């Protein structure tokens, strides 16, 4: 059935899996084509210092507008890219694009880039990052790489050596989506993180769920006592922002401050052009 390509053939008697699998194969094909034709884009979402309210950096987020389907969520196409061996290409494209564009920003504005656990597997992520920094001229101190716990699950000393090396160049390392995985304390102690990002699921629930509030409070105090910058993602409302500020959360990100936008739409881009 996987090879059946006759148009208009009714396949509803077959298992739903085949239909889903065919859809997926098509999407993979389209993703590969989009990459080849340079149709992936990078948008930037601000993160702010909660105390001053100032934008302190932008997170690069991959975007793919499909001809027929419209915007495909990175929660869909990033795992797909990981599954079929395209993630290194995508990851490098995002890193290069973002570092190049960040060179036009004021130098106190930082850049955060997500890195897939699979980019750590082949062992050349460090060289890739260093090469991109020197090719674009971006100072290592302005870059922070966001990794999830899945990176740390890749056992062995290599991952920790890579992360330590990145730190020694001055690159920041953020633990993304904190609270959704094992959130093991040993990770926080054994890897030289500079930032923890509390997952948006906790923040979005904050107003309704006492449990989320307790988790957030605990993570903020834990992060602070370890000397890490604690960030909350998914801040949509002023009340939530105030609560987090009051608890001592250093930074925040969310629709309250802005959604991800193309580089030419960022607030200082206009000022730069006008100047
Ligand atoms: P993430 O790294 O945790 O990024 C935060 C996600 O939360 C983004 O979704 C952002 O648009 C969304 N978000 C931010 N503020 C709010 C808010 O106030 N409310 C709500 N409801 N959502 C908010 P996005 O852009 O769809 O990205 C989803 C995930 O896809 C990212 O989660 C990241 O894990 C992955 N991703 C995106 N771009 C890349 C990339 O270049 N490389 C890799 N490896 N992963 C990427
Ligand atoms: Mg992230
Ligand atoms: Mg996150
Ligand atoms: Mg996420």
Is the confidence at residue 5, as pLDDT, over 60?
Answer: no
Burial 36-53 (b: 16+ CB within 10 A, else e): eeeebbbbbbbbbebeee
Q: Best of 200, 240, 258 to mutate for ligand 1, by most ligand atoms within 8 A of CB?
A: 200
pLDDT reported for residue 1: 39
Per-residue pLDDT, averaged over 30-36, amounts to 97
Q: Residue 61 CA: which ligand is closest?
A: 1
Q: Is the CB of residue 129 below 6 angstroms from any atom belonging to ligand 1?
A: no
Reported confidence tier of residue 7, pLDDT bands at 50, 70, 90: low
How many angstroms does the Cα of residue 252 sit away from the middle of ligand 4? 14
Tell me the helices (H) and strands (E) count for the chain, helix number first: 11, 9
Task: Tell the residue number behind the tokens 């098509």, with chain if given.
Answer: 26
Is any ligand 1 atom within 6 A of the Cβ of residue 82?
no
Distance from Cα 165 to the centre of ligand 1, integer Å:
26
133-144 pLDDT, tens digit each: 999 999 999 999
Cβ of 97 below 6 Å from ligand 1: no
* Residue 269 pLDDT > 80: no
pLDDT at 11 over 70: no
Residue 13 has a pLDDT of 52
pTM: 0.92
Tell me: pLDDT of 123 over 80: no
Q: Is 179 in the pocket of ligand 1 (CB under 6 A)?
A: no
Q: Is the CB of 91 under 6 A from ligand 1?
A: yes
pLDDT band at 2 (very low <50, low <70, confident <90, very high): very low
Residue-wise pLDDT tens digits, 188-246: 888 899 999 999 999 998 888 888 898 899 999 999 999 999 999 999 999 999 999 99
| CA 199 / ligand 4 centre spacing (Å) | 7
Best residue for ligand 1 mutational test, from 78, 99, 202 (most atoms within 8 Å of Cβ):
78
Q: What confidence score (pLDDT) does residue 271 get?
A: 53
Closest CA to 145 of 62, 78, 258, 60: 60
- pLDDT above 70 coverage of the chain, percent: 89
Specify the pLDDT at position 158: 84
Average pLDDT, the chain: 90
Atom of ligand 1 lying closest to residue 115 CA: 44
Nearest residue by C-alpha to atom 45 in ligand 1: 114
* Sole residue written with tokens 């389209």: 30
Q: Please give the Cα distance from 54 to 181 (Å, whole number).
A: 30
Q: How far is the CA of 69 from the centre of ligand 4 (A)?
A: 22
Write the secondary structure of 183-222 as one string of H (helix), E (strand) and C (coil).
Answer: CCHHHHHHCCCCEEEECHHHHHHCCCCHHHHHHHHHHHHH
Confidence of residue 17 (pLDDT cuts 50, 70, 90): low
Surrounding ion ligand 3 within 5 Å at CB are 176-177
Q: Whose CA is nearest to atom 23 of ligand 1?
A: 234
CB count, 10 Å around CB of 92? 16
- The pLDDT of residue 18 is 82
Closest Cα to atom 19 of ligand 1: 234
pLDDT digits (tens, 9 = 90+) for 160-197: 899 999 999 999 999 999 988 776 788 888 889 999 99
For ligand 1, say whether the CB of 73 is within 6 Å of any of its atoms: yes
Closest Cα to atom 3, ligand 1: which residue?
177
Percent of the chain with pLDDT over 90: 73
ipTM of the complex: 0.98
Q: Check residue 160 and give its pLDDT.
A: 87
Q: Which neighbouring-strand residues pair with 111?
A: 58, 143
């Amino acid at each position: 059935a996987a090879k059946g390509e006759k148009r208009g053939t009714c396949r509803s008697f077959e298992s739903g899996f085949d239909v889903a699998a065919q859809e997926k194969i098509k999407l993979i094909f389209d993703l590969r084509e989009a990459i080849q034709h340079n149709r992936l884009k990078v948008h930037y979402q601000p993160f702010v210092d909660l105390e001053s309210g100032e934008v302190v950096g932008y997170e690069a987020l991959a975007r793919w507008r499909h001809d027929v389907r419209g915007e495909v969520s990175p929660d869909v196409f990033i795992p797909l890219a990981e599954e079929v061996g395209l993630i290194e290409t995508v990851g490098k494209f995002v890193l290069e694009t973002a570092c190049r564009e960040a060179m036009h920003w004021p130098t106190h504005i930082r850049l955060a880039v997500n890195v897939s656990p699979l980019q750590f597997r082949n062992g050349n992520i460090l060289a890739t990052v260093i090469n991109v920094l020197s090719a674009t001229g971006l100072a290592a101190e302005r870059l922070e790489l966001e990794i999830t716990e899945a990176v740390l699950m890749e056992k062995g000393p290599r991952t920790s050596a890579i992360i330590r090396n990145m730190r020694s160049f001055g690159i920041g390392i953020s633990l993304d989506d904190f609270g959704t995985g094992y959130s093991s304390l040993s990770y926080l102690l054994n890897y030289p993180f500079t930032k923890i990002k509390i997952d948006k699921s906790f923040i979005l629930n904050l107003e309704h769920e006492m449990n989320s509030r307790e988790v957030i409070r605990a993570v903020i105090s834990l992060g602070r006592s370890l000397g890490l910058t604690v960030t909350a993602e998914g801040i949509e409302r002023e009340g939530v922002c105030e609560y987090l500020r009051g608890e001592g959360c250093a930074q925040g990100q969310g629709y309250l401050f802005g959604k991800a936008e193309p580089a030419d739409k960022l607030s200082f881009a206009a000022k730069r052009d006008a100047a």
